Amino acid sequence: MPHMTDERVRAGLRHEEDLSLLNEVSMKTAGVSHLEMCIQCGTCGGSCPVAMDMDHTPRMLFAMLRAGMREEVLRSNTPWICVSCYHCVVRCPQEVHIADVMYTLKGMAIKAKLYTDSTAPHFSQTFVDMVETFGRSYELGLATRHYLRHFPLRLPGMMPMGFGMITKGRMAITPKKIKHMDQLKKILECAKELELTS
Amino acid sequence: MNKYLLYPGCSMESSARAYMESLNAIMEPLDLHFEEIEDWNCCGATEYLGINLIPAYSLIARNLALAAKQKNGTRTVVAPCSACYLNLAKADYYMQERPTLGEKVNQALQAGGLQYVPGTLDVRHLIDILVYDIGLERIRSSVVRPLHGLRVAPYMGCMLPRPDYQHRWSDHEHPTELDDLLRALGADVIDYPLTTSCCGGHMTQIGPETAFELIRRLVADADERGAVLMATVCPMCQMNLDAYQNEMNHYFGSDYHMPILFFTQLMGLAFGREPEELGIGVELVSSRNALATIGVEVPVTQEPGAKRKKDEGLPMPRRWTKHEGKESVK
């Protein structure tokens, strides 16, 4: 962190402008994020169908990124509530890849182990585990594992639905596996190494 | 002959098998030919992207690489699922926009003996093909049982028209492709301003209170506007609105009954096929009454969830409702 001037300390400011967090998030985001171009207009939060359940609107979160508030940002539930509907993305006058920034923040929060409600990270991880094992998603395995872990009391209420899905042939009992699982595994292993070095 | 490569996506074989069955039923009258991408894998839905960037894009790109290798006479990959469509289109686009991502993904693909040059393929959604390649005229001329009098809410969902990297849609917020197609079938298409609002995506699994509210808005608005059923273009939308409608009703103490069918099922009906061939009847919110309004008889199937035991009896954990449930996350 840059050296603080006396004036800043007297004014109660905790740090000098530090754009390292903003840059880190921008670099880790797929495509060219345009995150640095945010003008704080609030179109994103105003367009968001689930803003009422978020700790911070996307606009506020982006201001926090610019302010270098790493811990607060990675503890925020905002990226986990985002439903990826891309309403904000098409309305943003600065073309910030907002939904993709949210994906980046999720990944960073998981790695920093800062997000306390584990429901969403576990769901993503369980889904990924299934895909890495079978090459396909496996709904029954995913749902059972997820509900047992996080919503055991909701399981009885979910039974009629699960039963309906199975009897109507809409949920397979056994997983499907792709033929060249070895090939997919090699690709993913290599990709994970590249992720660590990038 | 209209020939394409098909990326079906995981749900077409399970929760959305009605979509696949009805797609198979409309291919012949429209002279559509699909060749499935050999040994395709899951696109990672909305989950993998939130964990690791390069593995997530490599997972998606394996499908693009396989498709590019397999292409015979076509460069178009068709995805019937909006989430799959978006992921495939997104990987193709970002690998070009950010060449370093493209390089790394290709480095990973090479570990499996594959490669993909971004831009090689056109990634398109099924409805895009039907409206813009096959054309509404051709569809209209295949109709033998017009859906006159069937009041349908056209639900496009969010991941199809947005972010729209290749500018394929008439509008990002109020696209009319689905309205036009349903009108070509003779259906009475209602005005549905929420057509591209979100169904909740994976929130039904991780934050049901958030998802239930989104589902309620969509179903309530279609109901108030007099729709007897909703037509969707995406397995995830169908799953959320259909399979969780009962849960949503419990949560809000409401009593909506809005059947959710795939647009291909309605096309099949209009082309004169029978409900059994189109997977009609496997939806959890039955479309029997809605389709009876146009004289289509849906075979009776057992309706799980319809008969619930009385509250008396063995003490079982109660279902959680808005009033007695947890406080919403704030």
Q: pLDDT exceeding 70 applies to what percent of chain B?
A: 91
Q: Which residues, 6 or more positions from B73, have their beta carbon under 8 angstroms from its beta carbon?
A: B3
Nearest to B39 among A77, A180, A190 (CB): A180
pLDDT-derived band of residue A192, with 50, 70 and 90 as boundaries? very high
- Interface confidence, given as ipTM, is 0.91
Q: Do A49 and B197 touch (CB under 8 A)?
A: yes
pLDDT value at position B324?
56
Residue whose tokens read 């509907």? A85
CB–CB contact B207 A119 (8 Å): yes
Q: What's residue B71's pLDDT?
A: 79
| A77-102 pLDDT tens trace | 999 999 999 999 999 999 999 999 99
Alpha helices by DSSP H, listed for A83-180, are 87-91, 98-112, 119-134, 139-150, 155-167
Of A111-120, B33-42, B119-128, least confident by mean pLDDT is A111-120
The full set of domain ranges for chain A reads: 6-112, 119-197
Closest to A85 (Cα-Cα) out of B269, B51, B226, B202: B202
Handedness of CA B295, B298, B300, B306 (dihedral sign): negative
CB contact under 8 A, B328 and A81: no
A143-160: average pLDDT: 85
Residue B319: which pLDDT band, with cuts at 50, 70 and 90?
Answer: low
Tell me whether B320 touches chain A (CB under 8 Å).
Answer: yes
The encoded tokens of residue A143 equal 């749902």
Q: What per-residue confidence (pLDDT) applies to A173?
A: 87
Test B58 with A188 for CB contact under 8 angstroms: yes
Is the pLDDT at B307 greater than 60? The verdict is no
CB-based burial label for B302 (10 Å; 0-12, 13-18, 19+): exposed
**Stretch (H or E) spanning B20:** helix B17-27
Contact assessment for residue B105 and residue B67, using Cβ atoms and an 8 Å cutoff: no
Mean pLDDT of A104-127: 91
Residue with tokens 């079938």: B185
Classify B189 as helix, strand or coil. strand
- In this predicted structure, the answer to whether residue B171 has a pLDDT above a threshold of 80 is yes
What does the block give as tokens for B301?
Answer: 């199937």
Domains belonging to chain B, first-starting first, are: 2-125 (1.20.1050.140), 144-292 (3.40.50.11810)
Whole-model pTM: value is 0.91
- Whether B57 has its CB under 8 Å from any CB of chain A: the answer is yes
Rounded Cα distance, B318 and B242, in Å: 22
Q: Percentage of chain A with pLDDT > 90? A: 67
Homologous superfamily assigned to A6-112: Alpha-helical ferredoxin (1.10.1060.10)
Contacts of A170 in chain B (CB under 8 A): 14-18, 282
- The verdict on a CB contact (< 8 Å) between B210 and A50 is yes
Selected for mutation to probe chain B from A95, A122, A131, A189 (highest B CB count within 10 Å) is A131
Residues 243-302 in B contacting A (C-alpha not used; CB under 8 Å): 243-244, 246-247, 250, 281-282, 284, 301-302
Put simply, the answer to whether A194 touches B107 (Cβ < 8 Å) is: yes
What is the predicted pLDDT for the residue at A183?
97
Judge if the upstream peptide bond of residue A160 is cis by omega within 30 degrees of 0: no
Residue B327 reports pLDDT greater than 50? no
Provide the pairing of β-strand B260-262 with B188-189.
Answer: unpaired
Nearest CA in chain B to A177: B41
| Residue A36 confidence (pLDDT) | 96
Residue in this structure with the two tokens 């000098």, named with its chain if needed: A16
Read off the pLDDT of residues B215-274 as tens digits, 9 standing for 90 and up: 999 999 999 999 999 999 999 999 999 999 999 999 999 999 999 999 999 999 999 999
Of B98, B196, B317, the CB nearest to A156: B317
Q: What are phi and psi of B316, to 5 degrees?
A: -115, 150
Q: Residue A2 pLDDT > 60, yes or no?
A: no
